[in-house]
Every structure is written in structure tokens, then in C-alpha cells.
A and B are shown apart, each in its own frame.
Chain A
Amino acid sequence: MTTTKPLTVALVGNPNAGKSTLFNALSGLRQRVGNYAGVTVELKKGRFDAGDTPVELIDLPGTYSLAARSPDEMVAVDLLLGRRPEEPRPDVVVSVVDATNLDRHLYLTSQLLDLGEPVVVAMTMTDAAAAQGVRVDCETLSRELGVPVVPIQANKGVGLDALTRTILTTAGTEPPRGPAFPVEFEKEVAALQAALADVPGVLVRRLLLDVNGYVEQWLTGGHGVTLKAQLADARQRLAAAGCAVPGVEARTRFGWVRKAVAAAVTRPAVRPTTWTDRLDRVLTHRVWGTLAFLAVMFLVFQTIFTWAKPLMETIDAGREWAAKGVEGSMDPGPLRALVVDGVIKGVGSVLIFLPQIMILFLFVAVLEDCGYMARAAFLMDRLMSRCGLSGKSFIPMLSSVACAIPGIMSTRVIENRRDRLTTILVAPLMSCSARLPVYVLLIAAFLPTRSEENPDGFAWWVPGLTLFAMYLVGFVAAPVVALLLKRTLLRGETPVFVMEMPAYKRPALRAVVRRMVEAGWAFVRRAGTVILAAMILIWAALYFPNMDAAGVSYEERIAAAEAKKDAAGDDEAAAAAAERERNAVNGEWKRNSYLGRVGRSLEPAFVPLGWDWRLGTAALASFPAREVVVGMLGMIYDVGEDTGEDGSALQEAMRKEWAASGAAANYPVPVALSLMVFVALCLQCVSTLAVIRRETGNWWWPAFTFAYMTALAYVGALVTFQVGRLVVDVMK
């Protein structure tokens, strides 16, 4: 029985302090994403019971200080002060610090002591510190800081009981006091406080300390010119007194932290060489590091291709089984067609790529968790700065390789508005996981590897290299477009770029799996809603009208042709003729469907790209979500009942169809590449448009993004096909 009033506990710490590991260890599966009005950061909330006391845990985004420079950073500060309507003021603030880097992590702790709330220090990475010969006397440290210090190893569950006990006993106690600032500073704070009676003391200090910070912008916005002048005078007086901001804060806090650390921590006289030192000698080296980066990227994409195959075949078999089951138990007609051709085949063709998405997220999670992501940003920064972006844009862009939606949302870490907008506008150019299905399908169908059954195939490295090249299209296009935007629409100065390179560590299996599953689930949910709706719409546009000019149902004509085939028995010529008739009827039906009519009328526009009306129609129909293009191709090329014995029926159907007609017959590889390039560059994703609308606050930017990307996709596909055609002709 838990009858006690729940305790609100906030977790605060530097990025990479081990905060998420602690959060997961404490709250397990009982966690959710909190909703905060007008906020773009994702805050996780968890629950656990400490004895009889239910604890509500809030995991704040990782931060180096409480000096907020953006609205999102301010949310964390407001939450800690109980100034958000969604949460009560925390009863206890847990400051998560890294034992291997105590000085810097305790800087944030010293700021937390100013909040006027009980603070508990949770010290992580104690094992790593011990390995470096660093000994921390927690009792002495606790006495020096004036708050309890609990050593933990969250991944092994060590110290968690002690931590929760300490949280319980600390709740409701007298809040600690932070380091004392020089009297000159305190005098200025008191003077400002008198003018700002309704503002908490901590924020008045931040107002004075953070030049052009969020608090200054917010308060001078409200209190106008007088405050601005007052602030400038105060800062001038402080500078004259030898306490210039922001240096006075660094000196005061680090001085205080140093004293505590000197008393409680013993370090070896010579800093031992760590694994991070050894690894960084190679991984951030200008030559070896770049080679390693390229190798890692190639490995990631080649692995996606190889590992996912058996899993995909299993899912495909399941889809076939479901379709056959429905076909056997329902009468022919629009409803059965809807279920089999719309729902099962549509969603099935999307679900089948779940393994690849999960594997991609596995890599993204591992690279981030082990600390390599920051190295990638370091290596890529110069490149990004050439197009007016910074390394901070690299992470959102790289996340967009998984999905542009989290990528666009993660641009919130970019303080500079123009940089952020530029990143949002080009992030959808990065090849997201939804494009992967299209690439994989077309590569498997038209650039297969050589094997015993397929002696005409390509060398083993061709599929992986082609897939890599498709990702490269986005990697190249995004910076170029960004540069153009920064030179024209979004001209401005370069922002600050200082980044921490965390120590390497072994990725935590549980955290990696958690992210992988979350990503997969998010994809399935999308597949289940937006995509299913789109699939059904497209199915209807392809199914109706379901009567020919003479008023005979296409389904009846197909059934008649199939009956003829069955009746043919051992007569192979008659069976083949019946098969051809059936396919002809099917083709006529699709050509006459509403979607087919639109696609056919636009065929002249597709011809320069090497496409026939089918490919054009599939591209048109995938406006709501590009994943649809696969399901769409599946429907449009479904030329017989013999789908799926080997799990690659669609690929075979396309190959067969292409061999018989259009530009694809002579130039199958250029046509496939042209379609892939189109998918690589086009913004066919309703969800992304909606997110851009939310992040930019108007419909103009999503409309602009859609327009420029569609134009770019058309030109890119055109160039690809025309160049590809020339190459094929020359090679003949």
C-alpha cells in the first residue's frame, strides 16, 4: 500500500554523465514522455516506489549549466524552480556527476545549490575513475559540498538502494547553500532584485551573469529599456571592481569546487593514458580518422543489407500466409480486394522493412552511446562549415538518416535560428529509413549479386556500394542546398561551435535495445496510420472503376481467364495463352483506373526520366508517405497469383514487366537508378511536412521545402537516366 504523498525528483547532469542509465535503472519500464506546452524538448518521466513512497522521476535534458540561451534550456530551469504548470516543484534534485571528471561536473552541481532545493549528488563512473587511479572519499566530499554524495554504478545496479534511501531522507531538509560570490556581485544582485520583485533570486543572478542570455532577453523584453541600461551599468561596475561577468562565476564556482575536490580526491601525479587517448589518436586523426569514418559508414550500410534479408523473408512469408487465408475465406469482390490488396499487401510491404530500420537504429544507438558520434561531428565540421552549417547540424542531419522527423526535432539544440531553419529545410534530403525499402527493392531486382542461380549478377560489393551511393546523394545534396539557402534566404553570421568529445565507453546493451525497439514501434505506428490510410486511398484509386467499357467486371474477366488456364490442363500453349490474357486484362484494368488515367496523362513528363506510366503513377501516389511507393509498385506489378514462393515475387514481377516494355527494357539499371534518385531527393512524407510546420510555425516553410525538393528530384532523376543511358550505349 502506498499512501504517502508522491515525491517529485529531478535528474540533472552534463550530457554523457550517465543520467539516462540511472533513469532507466530506477524507473525500468515505467516511463513515458512528458508533454510540455510550447516546448520542443523531449522530457522523460518515470515512476518507482522507494519503500512506501511513490517517486515521480523527471529526466531533464543533459546540460552543462543553468545559463539558458534558448527557450528549451529555459524549460529545464523553470521546471527546477517549479515555474512550469505541468509539474510540481521538485522535492529533491539529483545531480548526476562523472567521477572521472569531477571538477567540471561539480560546476553544474554548484549552480543547483542556488536553487533553494535539497540536492543529492549521484556519482557515476566510479569504476572508470578507480581504473585511472582516482580515489574519491565520498564522506569528505559530502562534507565539503554540504550535500550527500552517493557513489553508484547504475548499469550494475550498485548503489541504487543507497541513492533512493538518501533521496528519501534528504527530502524536506534545509536546502544547501552554494558558493559565496564576491560582495560587489551580491550588491548588484540585491539592487536588481529590488526592481524585479516577482523574479526568483536565481534568475536575477542569471540575468546579471548571462550576457545576451535567455533571461536577459525575456526580462528586458518585459521591463524594457530601463532594465537594459541598469544591467549595462551593473556589469560595468562589476568589471571595474575586478568581478567582470561571466568570469566571476567561473572563478567563484571553480574555486569552490577545486577546494572540495582537493580535500576529497586523490589523483595519480601523472595522468595515466586511457583507452580514449589511444583510440582518439587514430579515430580523430585527419587521415586514419577519416578512413575509419568512411569504413564505419560503409560497414553500417552493407550490414543492413546482409542481416535484414532472412528476417524480411520471414515477414514476407507471413504476409503471404495472411493473404491466402483471407482469399480462401472470403467471396471475391471489392471488400476482399480491399483487405488483400489494400490492407494486407500494403501494410505488409511496409512492415517487411522493419528489420532494416531496427538494424539502422541499432547502429545509430551504438555509435551515439559509445561516444563515436561526437568524433563524426568533429571530423565533419569543416565540411559542414563550408556550407554555412556547424557540427551541431551534423547530428540532426545524421539522425535524419533514420528518420527526418526526430532529426528535425533534434535541431532544437541549435541556438542560432537561421542555422536551425536551414538544417530543418535540408534534413529531409538525407536518405531516411523509409527510402531504404525502395532502394533495397530496386537494387535487389536490378543489381543482384552473382550466384549459382544467377550467373549474370554483379560482384558482391555492388549492392552495398549502390546503397551507399544513394545515401551519398543526400549527403551531397543537403550541404549544397544548405549553402544556397545560407547565401540567399537565410544569410547571417556563423554561430558558436564548441563541443565536448565524451570518453569512449562500451555501449549499454539495454539502452541500445530500448532505442531500437522505440524506433521500430514508432515506425510501425506510422505504418499503421498515415501509411495505411494512404494505401487504402491508392488501392481505391487503382481498383475503381472496376468495370470495363462494356460494363463487365474486370474481376470476372480475370476469373474467366484463370478458369481457361485451369481447363487447359496439360496443354502448355493454351495455359500460356490464358496467362497472357489474364495479364492483359489486369493491365487494362490498371491503365483505366483513376490513378492510371492520371499517371498515363502525365507520362510525357516521365519519359525523360526513363519511366513508364506505372513508375510515374507509383511516384505520384507516394506523396503522403514514400514508403507507399513499395506497396504501390507491389500492386501495380502484381501480374499473377504466383506471388511469394521465394519472397521476391514483386522483384521478379518488375523485372519481367520491364524486360517487355519501355525504356526499362533496354536500360533497366539507369531506370532503377533514376527512380532511386527521385525517391532520394523528393519530399514524399506528410508527417515530415507536419513536423516542419510545427517547428517553423507556418505553412510557408513546408510548402517551400516540398516545392524545392520535388524540383530537385525531377532534375536529379532526369540527369541520372540520361547519363546512365549514355553509359549503357557506350558500353555496348
Chain B
Amino acid sequence: MPTLADLRPGQSATVVSLAGDPALVQRLYELGLFEGEPVEVLAFAPLGDPVEVRVGNSRLSLRKAEAANVTVTDRPA
């Protein structure tokens, strides 16, 4: 299954599961990024990392390595 790190700017999908460091998972939950939520990639920073995503009405910046912990559905959501 693709991860959030595989999406290009403008693409969106639905979050399937979160894995990795408990601190990371908990922070993502607190920011509203959790299972079943639609998520959209808005932009890549210069050098392609980190990525800006929209989840709910929030914009988050997360690194590719972190985004790779977020499994998403195949497009389109």
C-alpha cells in the first residue's frame, strides 16, 4: 500500500494506518491525522522534503521519512 510519502502535490488519499515511533504517532493524532481521515499533499519544500499536507482544516509539515509511516489508500480518495 502507498504511504503519504508517495503522494505528489495536489494528490489526496485516506489514512489507513499509522506506524513507527510512539511519539510521532501520538503527535500526528493530536494534530488530527488519524485512521479514516482524508489527507492532501499541498507542497514539497525545496529539495523535496519536508512535505506540506492538509488534514481536516490544518496544514502540517512533515518529513518524508515520517510521512512514510502513514499508510494511505490508493488514489482517489
A and B assemble together: yes
Most buried by B among A381, A383, A498: A498
Most buried by A among B44, B60, B61, B62: B61
Closest Cβ of chain B to A205, distance in Å, is: 14
* B48-77 interface bits toward A, Cβ cutoff 8 Å, 1 = contact, 0 = none: 111010001111111101100000000000
Q: Is B28 an interface residue (CB 8 A)?
A: yes
- Is B31 a contact partner of A104 (Cβ separation < 8 A)? yes
Closest Cβ of chain A to B31, distance in Å, is: 6
Instruction: Give bound CA distance, A210 to B66, whole Å.
Output: 19
Q: Is A501 an interface residue (CB 8 A)?
A: yes
Q: Which residues of A contact B32 (CB under 8 A)?
A: 103-104, 107, 254
Instruction: Give bound CA distance, A246 to B34, whole Å.
Output: 11
Given contacts A381-B49, A498-B28, contact A103 B56 (CB under 8 A): yes
- Is B52 a contact partner of A378 (Cβ separation < 8 A)? yes
Given contacts A64-B31, A378-B50, A381-B49, contact A212 B60 (CB under 8 A): no
Given B23, B30, B43, which contacts A285 in the complex, CB threshold below 8 Å?
A: B43
Q: Is A290 an interface residue (CB 8 A)?
A: yes
Q: Is A497 an interface residue (CB 8 A)?
A: yes
Closest Cβ of chain B to A2, distance in Å, is: 39
- Is A280 a contact partner of B59 (Cβ separation < 8 A)? yes
- Is B30 a contact partner of A67 (Cβ separation < 8 A)? yes
Most buried by A among B23, B49, B50, B57: B57
Instruction: Give bound CA distance, A107 to B27, whole Å.
Output: 12
- Is A499 a contact partner of B61 (Cβ separation < 8 A)? yes
Residue of B with least CB distance to A286? B46
- Is A385 a contact partner of B63 (Cβ separation < 8 A)? yes
* A481-504 interface bits toward B, Cβ cutoff 8 Å, 1 = contact, 0 = none: 000000000000010111111110
Q: Is A59 an interface residue (CB 8 A)?
A: no
* A226-258 interface bits toward B, Cβ cutoff 8 Å, 1 = contact, 0 = none: 000000000000000000001101110010000
Residue of A with least CB distance to B22? A211
Given A69, A284, A385, which contacts B52 in the complex, CB threshold below 8 Å?
A: A284
Q: Is A679 an interface residue (CB 8 A)?
A: no
Instruction: Give bound CA distance, A385 to B35, whole Å.
Output: 28
Q: Which residues of B contact A246 (CB under 8 A)?
A: 22, 25-26, 29
- Is A379 a contact partner of B21 (Cβ separation < 8 A)? no
- Is A378 a contact partner of B61 (Cβ separation < 8 A)? yes
Given B23, B28, B47, B49, which contacts A69 in the complex, CB threshold below 8 Å?
A: B23
Q: Is B42 an interface residue (CB 8 A)?
A: yes
Closest Cβ of chain A to B44, distance in Å, is: 6
Given B27, B43, B46, B60, which contacts A280 in the complex, CB threshold below 8 Å?
A: B43
- Is A247 a contact partner of B61 (Cβ separation < 8 A)? no
Closest Cβ of chain B to A69, distance in Å, is: 6
Instruction: Give bound CA distance, A377 to B61, whole Å.
Output: 9
Residue of A with least CB distance to B17? A247
Residue of B with least CB distance to A107? B30
Residue of A with least CB distance to B18? A247
Closest Cβ of chain A to B26, distance in Å, is: 5
Most buried by A among B18, B27, B59: B59
Residue of A with least CB distance to B62? A498
Instruction: Give bound CA distance, A65 to B46, whole Å.
Output: 31
Q: Which residues of A contact B1 (CB under 8 A)?
A: none
Instruction: Give bound CA distance, A494 to B65, whole Å.
Output: 10
Q: Which residues of A contact B30 (CB under 8 A)?
A: 64-65, 67, 104, 107-108, 250
Given contacts A496-B21, A497-B50, contact A382 B31 (CB under 8 A): no
Residue of A with least CB distance to B65? A494
* A381-424 interface bits toward B, Cβ cutoff 8 Å, 1 = contact, 0 = none: 11101000001000000000000000000000001000000000
Given contacts A247-B34, A247-B35, contact A381 B22 (CB under 8 A): no
Q: Which residues of A contact B48 (CB under 8 A)?
A: 286, 382
- Is B52 a contact partner of A501 (Cβ separation < 8 A)? yes
- Is A500 a contact partner of B45 (Cβ separation < 8 A)? no
Closest Cβ of chain A to B20, distance in Å, is: 9
Chain A residues at the B interface, C-beta cutoff of 8 Å: 64-65, 67, 69, 100-101, 103-104, 107-108, 210-213, 246-247, 249-251, 254, 271, 276, 280-281, 284-287, 289-290, 374, 377-379, 381-383, 385, 391, 415, 494, 496-503
26 of the cross-chain contacts (CB-CB < 8 Å) are: A67-B26, A67-B30, A69-B23, A101-B56, A104-B56, A211-B22, A213-B26, A247-B35, A250-B30, A250-B34, A251-B34, A280-B59, A286-B43, A289-B45, A378-B45, A378-B50, A381-B63, A385-B49, A391-B50, A497-B62, A497-B66, A498-B61, A499-B60, A499-B61, A501-B52, A503-B59
User: A107-B32, A280-B52, A501-B60 provided; 17 other pairs, C-beta below 8 A?
Assistant: A64-B31, A101-B57, A101-B58, A212-B23, A213-B26, A246-B25, A247-B34, A280-B43, A284-B42, A286-B48, A289-B46, A378-B52, A381-B63, A497-B61, A498-B31, A498-B60, A498-B61
